[in-house]
Amino acid sequence: MAAVAILIALFSTWLLSPASRLGTSLANSSYDWSQELLPETSLTNSPVVIVYIDLDSYRVEKQNPVEPWSRALHAQLIDRLTAAGAKAVVFDIIFDEAITNSEANRQFAAAMRDNGKVVLAGEITRSSRNTADSEGFKSVEYSLPAPMFLNAAAAWGTASLQADNDFIVRRYFPGFTVERPSLTAAAARVAGISAQRVAHAQWIRYYGGPLAIPHVSYSSALQASEVGDEFFRGKIVLIGARPMAGLYLERKDEFRSPLAMWGDNELFMPAVEVQATQMLNLVRGDSLRRLSSGNEILVLLGLAILLPALLFFFRPLPATGIAMAGECAVLGATVAALRLGQTWFPWLIVAAVQVPAALGASVLWQSVQWYQQRKKFEAQRRADEAKIREQAALIEKAQDAILVQELDGGIIYANPSAERLYGWSSADLRSNGHPIPVPEKAKQAAMATGEWLGELEQTARDGRHITVASRCTLIRDAAGAAKSLMFINTDVTEKKRLEQEFFRAQRAESVGSLASGMAHDLNNAFAPILMGLQLLQRQRQDEETQRMLSVMEQNTHRGAEMVRQVLLFSRGSDSQRQSLLLGRLIREMEQMVRQTFPRAINVAALLPADLWAVLGNATQLHQVLLNLCVNARDAMPQGGELTLAADNVSLSAEEAREIPHGKSGDYVMLLVSDTGNGIPSEILPRIFEPFFTTKPPDRGTGLGLSTVARIVQQHEGFLNVKSDVGQGTTFEIYLPRAVAVPVPENKPSPVAEFRRGNGELILVADDEQAVLEMVSVTLGEQGYRVMTASNGAEAIAKLETNGDSVRLVLLDTDMPVMNGPQTVSLLQARAPNLPIVLMSGKFDSPQGKESSTLAKPFQLHELLAVVTRHFDGH
């Protein structure tokens, strides 16, 4: 116990050191959760309010998001706040240069002088930020407001905030010196807050999540009809930007809220709200304090000694209850310290480290004690061996199979449950001629330790393979010598089967989810490859190069089609079907089988010349043939005949009734026949069940025939199976005859047939650099000008700059910062008549009301066809 107390004490003390990342994380989390434990504070009549420069303000005041905010509007706002009786006006905006409009600058300066209580923000220069930690405060250089603004303001302060590694501002920053105060310290001085209260501020108290402090938009603040004077009267007003998609040239910093979790929609709060929170702390005098390092060490050392001393005297269950009570006591002490003294300490070190460590050590200690006692009880159990037969009446009623076996293997006792499980009578089981075999390792383990637990694979009288969970106990005689083994066997055959089916289904689901996630990225990868190949085909005209590029292009198309099938399968969607002839599929399968199957298997394909067309998906029907051929191969380990055939069949109603799920009509029948082992009649009805298989676990999953049945059903067909043991199996698949003729192969139109550009500007937005490069090259060669963006926000910004010149937008649906649908909405709001084409690697991408889609990977002629269609107006 003493050793445990010392280890906990040393570890807890180390957690308080700055070198401990775990300790720092626990301390930061203690501070964050302490914010949740503070009583709720009403901000209805808050002495501090915020005016946000937000997106609506830019729209209402007709300001360009890519240019600084009008100083004339700042002057108008100061006059409005002066008239409303604001106590102080604090700008969390850097005015480090007087922009070209000198009249607006004079208005802004005059408004600040008239108000008399305007505080401006400065910032540390980038070079100072890089050297301040190593060279000290003397190396800090500031970027101050322009002189004409600095002279007109009542004070200025550093707008810097001290954020931790997780982007949360926890500590109050008063500034480097009295002459170089922080923004809130300078504002406190102007607002008449005592210097002693500023000096005592250490840790920030937050009053809620993001946007909790009363606030209004800049445009609303200018209008007395929207925001009355009472909202600002006697208040300290902070003015700053509320970042929106990186559109502002003003301050853009945001910090995490300690009250927000990573999954919350409002995770970050603007820097001006953090400044306002610090300001409100100073006005109310309710900033938090932390226990001194010495007091924290004393608390942790005392608990490190007390907890093991208390928990080691109780068994695990009551010790757990005491530990939970201790956790509650820690939480109660934390709440009391916060509410009575506004003091917090790293209480999670106690709750998450000390209490669990002491409880775990106590449980381990008690477990060792229990094991030693159990060994003593084992000796008593051996003394009661003679009473086994007297208790047979109770054992007879047990649901588990109970067997007592001599050390040489003969069974001397079997209860009725054992008879039911194995199918032999008790007399048969007791005969020396038929002992139930037990693995030697189980016997050795039981002889060495007195007992053994595990699973056994056994065979019943009728040949059934059963799995039992076996518990073996060594029985000793009165002298302590080993006498026999007692087995208690529980039939878990069905349970194991269900577990295997569950694991297979779970594995299949995981594969489907993984494939669905990879499919979009693969389409993005295929797109530049396909366009690059077609560009090379235009540039290289020699026959050998053209042949190689054509092969590469065909395989790229094939890969894209496979990705498409994976997406449809993972979503449970039906594939697109087209009119096709099955003769080509059968010939391809015949060639594949001849090349890959053992030479002992002879393959024959029978096809009529006038085979009807069917409406289907070639990839899925290829999978049907492949699954059936693989099953046929496995059924003929010594070789045999494999026949692939197709024929036109017209089923009457009477003939259709003889086939399961059959319907009358015209069909194309696919036939796969082998001369293999055949399927026993008793398992024939189950062959299409998912996960049912007669193959060993390492050779079959039981999903092949169930997949065949699902695909045939999706094609509105049905199938029939005929099999004789030792003679072979025949699968007949009936697919409805297609009314339409096969669709001819569409040859891509030459690039020369598409419209050539005349320098029209096209904006292309995609986060894949390779796609941007290939699309730019293609459109550039066709005579268009191209402007690229790597995300939606960048596309919006470039449209603002070049809005009148952009004639068409090509936009990816999945991009960082701002995705396709969000970007489309903003683009249509700014330019309602601007045509938009959405590029997507998915098949369910949303379209805007003025947009069309271009599925990835697309070919050059598809891209140019879309561009031509939009510029030609049809």
Residue range 683-694, pLDDT digits in tens? 877 777 766 676
User: What's the pLDDT tens digit per position in 751-763?
Assistant: 557 888 888 898 8
Kind of pairing between the strands at 88-94 and 118-124: parallel
Give dist(CA 639, CA 622) in Å, integer. Answer: 23
Q: Above 50 in pLDDT, residue 470?
A: yes
The answer on 332 and 235 residing in a single domain is: no
One domain, residues 501 and 390: no
If you average pLDDT over residues 562-586, what whole number do you get?
A: 67
d(CA 665, CA 649): 8
In this predicted structure, which of 98-107, 291-300, 497-506 has the lowest mean pLDDT? 497-506
For the stretch 358-375, what's the b/e string if a residue is b when 16 or more beta carbons lie within 10 angstroms of its beta carbon?
Answer: bbebbbebbeeeeeeeee
The residue among 503 and 447 whose pLDDT is bigger is: 447
Question: What mean pLDDT comes out for the span 308-324?
Answer: 88
Over residues 567-580, mean pLDDT = 61
- The pLDDT, as a whole number, for residue 849 is 43
**In the predicted model, what is the mean pLDDT of the chain?**
82
Q: How confident is the model at residue 232, as a pLDDT?
A: 95
Q: Which two tokens stand for residue 619?
A: 């990839």
Q: What is the DSSP string of 269-293?
A: EEHHHHHHHHHHHHHHT--BEE--H
Classify the C-alpha dihedral 408-413-415-419 as positive or negative. Answer: positive
pLDDT at 740: 54
Give 777-826 pLDDT, tens digit per residue.
888 888 899 999 888 888 888 888 887 788 888 888 888 888 778 888 88
Q: Which residue has the tokens 């505080």?
A: 119
Q: Give me the mean pLDDT over the 468-472 stretch.
A: 86
Cβ(125)–Cβ(158) below 8 Å: no
CATH number at residue 775: 3.40.50.2300
Give the pLDDT score at 679: 84
pLDDT per residue over 2-22, tens digit each?
Answer: 888 899 889 888 988 888 899
Q: Which of 39-43, 140-144, 330-334 is the most confident on average?
A: 330-334
Which residues share a beta bridge with 733? Answer: 670, 719
Look at residue 482 in the predicted model and tell me its pLDDT: 84
- The pLDDT, as a whole number, for residue 848 is 45
Please, which pLDDT band fits residue 100 given cuts at 50, 70 and 90?
low
**Which pLDDT band holds residue 246 (cuts at 50, 70, 90)?**
very low
* 31 within some domain: no
pLDDT of residue 801: 84
pLDDT of residue 592: 81
State residue 113's pLDDT score. Answer: 95
Q: Quick check: is 96 in a domain? A: yes
Q: Is residue 614 part of a domain?
A: yes
Q: Which domain holds residue 812?
A: 751-872
Give the HSE-up count for residue 712: Cα atoms under 13 Å, Cβ half-sphere.
Answer: 27
Q: Give the bridge partners for 95, in sequence order.
A: none
Order of strands across the sheet with 665-674?
601-606, 640-651, 665-674, 728-736, 718-724
SS3 content of the chain, % helix, strand, coil (to 5): 45, 20, 35
476 contacts 386 by C-beta, under 8 angstroms? no
**What pLDDT score was predicted for residue 180?**
87
Residue among 452, 453, 459, 463 nearest 436 (CA): 459
In a domain, 814, yes or no: yes
Rounded Cα–Cα distance for residues 345 and 343 (Å)? 7
pLDDT for the residue numbered 329: 92
Alpha carbon distance 100, 149 (integer Å): 14
d(CA 788, CA 478): 91
Residues 438 and 551 in one domain: no
Instruction: Tell me: do 311 and 193 sit in the same domain.
Output: no
Over residues 691-723, the pLDDT tens digits come to 667 666 555 566 678 788 888 988 889 998 988
Q: At 811, phi and psi to the nearest 5? A: -135, 125
Which two three-digit tokens encode residue 294?
């010495």
Cα separations (Å) of 789 from 793, 797, 806, 839? 9, 9, 13, 14
Q: What is the dihedral of CA 699, 701, 706, 712, to 10 degrees?
A: -60
Per residue in 73-92, pLDDT tens?
999 999 999 999 999 999 99
62 with 70: CB under 8 angstroms?
no
Q: Are strands 236-241 and 88-94 parallel, antiparallel or unpaired?
A: parallel
Residues 200, 340: one domain? no
Asked if pLDDT for residue 656 goes beyond 90, the answer is no
Residue that is written with structure tokens 């594939």 in the block: 575
650 and 797 both lie in a single domain = no
Average pLDDT over residues 152-171: 90
Same domain, 475 and 543: no
Q: Are residues 254 and 114 in the same domain?
A: yes
Domain assignment present for 184 = yes
Q: List Cβ neighbours of 552 (8 Å cut-off, separation of 6 or more).
A: 533
Q: How many folded domains does the chain comprise?
A: 6
User: Stretch 505-532: mean pLDDT, rounded?
Assistant: 63
Instruction: List, in sequence order, every beta strand (DSSP E) within 584-654.
Output: 601-606, 614-616, 640-651
CA distance 419 to 398: 12
Q: What is the pLDDT of residue 782?
A: 86
> Cα torsion for 837, 838, 842, 843, to the nearest 10°?
-50
The CATH number given to whatever domain includes residue 587 is 3.30.565.10
* Beta-carbon contacts of residue 204 (< 8 Å; ≥ 6 apart): 169, 170, 171, 172, 274, 277, 278, 281, 287, 288
Residues with Cβ within 8 Å of 355's Cβ and at least 6 positions away in sequence, in order, are 307, 323, 326, 327, 330
- Total Cβ atoms within 10 A of residue 275: 25
Which among 325, 341, 368 is the end of a domain?
368
Task: Indicate the residue among 264, 287, 310 that finishes a domain.
Answer: 287
Joined tokens for residue 791: 């995300």
In this structure, the answer to whether residues 691 and 587 fall within a common structural domain is yes
Tokens encoding 474: 């060594």
* pTM for this model (two decimals): 0.46
State the average pLDDT over residues 225-238.
94
- The rounded distance, in Å, linking the Cα atoms of 727 and 723 is 7
Q: Is the dihedral of CA 109, 113, 119, 125 positive or negative?
A: positive
Inter-residue contact 423 to 460 (CB < 8 Å): yes
Same domain, 406 and 421: yes
Residues 6 or more apart whose Cβ sits within 8 Å of residue 123:
94, 142, 143, 158, 159, 160
Residue 465 lies in a domain: yes
The tokens 């901000």 sit on which residue?
43
Whether residue 337 is predicted with pLDDT greater than 60 in this model: the reply is yes
Per-residue confidence at 845, pLDDT binned at 50, 70, 90? very low
456 and 518 belong to one structural domain: no
CB contact set of 489 (below 8 Å; sequence gap of 6+) = 400, 401, 402, 403, 418, 421, 456, 468, 469, 470, 471
Round to whole Å and give the CA distance between 236 and 257.
22
What would the two tokens of residue 849 be? 């009301």
Q: Per the domain annotation, does 802 fall within a domain?
A: yes
Give the strand pairing for 578-580 and 614-616.
antiparallel
Last residue of a domain, one of 679, 712, 736: 736
Q: Is residue 575 part of a domain?
A: no
Q: Are residues 473 and 522 in the same domain?
A: no
Residue 730, pLDDT score: 92
Please report the pLDDT score of residue 580 as a whole number: 84
Q: Which of 472, 466, 478, 450 is CA-nearest to residue 404?
A: 472
Interatomic CA distance for residues 723 and 672, integer angstroms: 12
How far is it, in rounded angstroms, from Cα 10 to Cα 304? 9
